[in-house]
Amino acid sequence: MRELAPADAVLTWYDQNARVMPWRVSPQDRAQGVRPNPYHVWLSEVMLQQTTVAAVRDYFRKFIELWPTVEDLAAAPDSDVMAAWAGLGYYARARNLLKCARVVTQDYGGHFPQSQDVLQTLPGIGGYTSAAIASIAFDAPAAVLDGNVERVMSRLHNDSSPLPSAKSQFLAYAQEMTPQERPGDYAQAVMDLGATICTPRKPACMMCPWADWCDARAAGTQLDLPVKLKKKPKPRWFGYAYVGRRADGAWLLETRPDSGLLGGMLGWPGSDWSDKPSGHPPCDAEWEDLHSTVRHTFTHFHLQLTVRAARLPLDAAPSRGHFMTQEDFCAGDLPTVMRKVFDRARSHLT
């Protein structure tokens, strides 16, 4: 006979096994009345979109150190925030982060709204993020569905409906199971369960607090779930990147347009990215083809860049881009693909 309901069982497990994260209030502290900081919850959830916890920890700490409150972030120069975000990927998130911080500061007095519906009206906040903020920060009984929870729901109900089309069904399962008591801790408990116990390849079923309720475990199908539709092969695009350094040590960089990939980020002047790119150098110079390519994979395509480098005279007048002094230039402010280009070219120019 089962002594606990599923929600009680996973909360008891979470109280003993919750992962320690810099943005999380432990279940013990929450029991003592410590409330999560909505700014921290929002910032971490935006950072965690399509990114791992391990990759986010240091970025989160850096942002909180630089901008301790949402008002501080709202007042920050765009270029500083984009530079601090560099390397975390999916740069539209950083642009929306600033937009959202400014809306919360200007329209809500620096306080995040508690309603999931209102949260979804803010820039960059969709269904998952609004549910996570409402649940974790404000203890609203909102169902949170990330990849870990999808896997848990699929196995718990032995549901072989393929993702991504099954998302709505799995969300319904998650909503039905979300308790009225401690919904924020419950949401984090199920995410932790998926991340540490109900893992993709080697689920630790013997350690799972939901083992007795799991239909897939009973049927022996847990390793087959969740079912995912095959993704189409990613196309391969090509392009050119031009790394120029002036005689005084300044580097020729450009700020990419706000829209599109790497929007608002610093980068090297280059060509379009396509199957047949047209390479036009940003200024007249003896551009050396390094006979070297940089490869990088984005969400929807693979990119291969041909790198060209040149030493530029003091009176160089580029048609695009701007010079940044050696003292102001920091390779760490570049997005990953542009850092790869720099690493390939710098030995030719230093």
Hey, which residues are catalytic here? 45
CB 345 within 8 A of CB 309: yes
